[in-house]
Amino acid sequence: MQAFRRLYSSIPDAAAAARTASTPRAVRLRRLRKRPEVPAGASDATPSGLTPSEQARFQRSYAKGELTDGAGNYLSEGQWLNKLDARRQRIRGIRVAKSEAGEKELQVVGQKVYLPNVIFTLVRNHTPPGQPYNPYEATFRVAQSITKTDIRSYLSAAYGVKSTYIRTDNYSAKTSVLGQTKSVAYKRAVVGLVDPFYFPKAVEDMNAKDRKEREDWLEENFRMQQDKDDRKSVQLLISRRRSDGWRWRTGVTANRRNIIHLIAARRAERESLLADMKVQVRGARQSAVSQPA
């Protein structure tokens, strides 16, 4: 079972391999035309951290002479990647303008939104068993009305998260055979991160010791098991009250002695009814025999 547990990347090499494994299928097919397929668990990034697409873009810009700073020096791959990430995480709808004092400040082009009433649910990235977890991606579930610009702006303004790319998928609500809605429609957003984020381990990926410590901590701080037991007892009480002939039994009336006495009383009542039925059947048979044909 150890071989099927997920590998949570805590080193750059495993994180780079996870980023390579999460490359979209169309991009992988396009790269196969020019270079061989990357083995499983390996990374196709350069030592500077550039992906093949970024490497090709860097070489084209370098050949055109576009990668120079103010002093005329060419940028290295690492410097160009930092500049590219800074441009990727910019917030749409904001521009740099000069104030009345002549200082540069950020101004919102569109309408400002205060205290947005939206919910971003962070979920675990899809990671096949035995594959490293990709810390350069974060998966959210948002409402279908949220756009990519909204996601980028919200993460940057509320949490200071720098994003590189955003991929979204719409999921419709599931319905039952009778047409009743079983789930809510939502949009899944896969956000590329500049800084890695390591999601906590899942319960199924923990060993017995870590799982026991987690359960003890939850019980001590939130009383999870006690809450489940209380809910179960309340549901049992509600179901009993709806049945016919229900009456509350305390610990005194529900002990073993009273239960045996109740069973004996019901058994005697049943035996009495059977005896009465036998007498009635015998009387009917005798009356039928005594009557002349």
Q: Could you read off the pLDDT tens digit of each residue along the chain, which spans 293 residues?
A: 333 344 444 456 777 787 787 788 888 888 888 888 888 778 888 888 888 888 888 888 888 888 887 777 888 888 888 888 777 666 666 778 888 888 888 777 766 677 788 899 999 888 877 777 888 899 999 999 998 888 888 888 888 888 888 999 999 888 776 767 677 889 999 998 888 888 877 777 778 898 888 888 888 888 888 888 888 888 877 776 666 666 656 555 566 777 788 888 889 999 999 999 888 888 888 887 766 65
Between CA 59 and CA 112 the distance in angstroms is: 40
Local structure of residue 7 (DSSP, 8 states): B
pLDDT at 93: 65
Q: Where does 117-165 have alpha helices with state H? A: 148-154
Phi then psi dihedrals of residue 151, to 5 deg = -65, -45
User: DSSP string of 41-82?
Assistant: T-----TTS--HHHHHHHHHHHHHT--B-TTSPBP-HHHHHH
Q: What's residue 292's pLDDT?
A: 60
CATH number of 2-44+89-193: 3.30.70.330
Question: Which position has the token pair 């490293």?
Answer: 132
Q: What is the model's pLDDT at position 106?
A: 76
3-state secondary structure of 173: coil
Q: What are phi and psi of 50, to 5 degrees?
A: -85, 140
**In what helix (H) or strand (E) does residue 142 lie, and over which residues does it extend?**
strand 137-142
Residue keyed to tokens 């002549």:
102
Q: Taking the domains of the chain in order of start, what are their residue ranges?
A: 2-44+89-193, 208-241, 252-283
25-32 and 52-64 helices, crossing angle to 10°: 60
**What does the alpha-carbon distance between residue 136 and residue 9 come to, in Å, rounded to a whole number?**
10
Q: Report how far residue 186's alpha carbon sits from residue 144's, in angstroms, rounded to the nearest whole number.
A: 5
The residue among 148, 142, 156 whose CA lies nearest residue 195 is: 156
